[in-house]
Amino acid sequence: WSHQEPTRRRYIVPSTDMSKTSATVHLTKRAAAQRQLNAAIRMLLGNEDELAVHTVAAAAFHILKDIKKMERGRSELADSLNRGLFYTARNFATGKKLPDFLDETLTRAVHKTADAIKRGEINSKADVTYFKVHASAESSYWRKFNLAANFLKHADWDVKDTLELRQLENEKLIMAASASYCELMNEPTPEIVAFAAFVLDDEELIRFLPEGTAKKLRGSKPAARRRLCLKLSRDLTKALARTRERATL
């Protein structure tokens, strides 16, 4: 692990006492999103209150989505659609079956993308630009996507509204936030790796996990899988801390 938390420190001298100095930690937006996302994952794996998980994860995702739009001019919705197309086409190119829910247009897009992958013209999700999303359509999508988060955040005009718990979809939210984080930072946090191990049954991921953990995850029940993945996040965090400590010696 080589992950570095994007935190800035600035040292100041208090005006009331020039004989003492103190350190004030200033967080970047990326650092704030990282800490919120990591906390949301630990809470989810710890089976804590799903409303709290959603609020913290939504805050992280909102920051990450805004950073991508402001700094890179990238549409998060278009990115997520193209990312899904890439992984579906990559699986198809290796002989896996297409999902049943794809319509004729998407099936053709998958076939075309898979052929480009085989020819070496597409090597990563960043190379897929099939989906283009109009600003009005994206705005409408995010209004619907943010319904649960806004319900949990405001009560100035919708005080009598109610929320169906099935609208939370915390795993989907954290998956989207994790993908955005990795695209911005180019590597996952220990918590993101542990969350991926929890929600995905992917041989490409499993082979990077500690041998004992990978073996236990296969066929484990949800409650046991949560415990294993929460422990995995802690173990990976400790391993990362040891790596950083050795690097400073």
Q: What is the pLDDT of residues 25-59, one digit of tens each?
A: 778 889 999 999 999 999 999 999 999 999 999 99
Higher pLDDT pick, 197 / 135: 197
DSSP 126: G
1-17 mean pLDDT: 43
- Residues 123-182 have pLDDT tens digits of 888 888 888 888 888 788 777 877 777 777 766 556 657 777 777 788 989 998 998 998
pLDDT value, residue 162:
74
Q: pLDDT (tens digit, 9 = 90+) per residue, 61-94?
A: 999 988 988 876 677 888 888 888 898 998 889 8
Token pair for 38: 């990591």
Q: Which of 220, 196, 219, 199 is nearest to 208 (CA)?
A: 196
Residue pair 6/30 in contact (Cβ under 8 Å)? The answer is: yes
Give the pLDDT of residue 208. 67
214, 198 contact by CB (below 8 A): no
Instruction: Specify the pLDDT at position 79.
Output: 85
What pLDDT was estimated at residue 159?
62
| SS3 state of residue 9 | strand
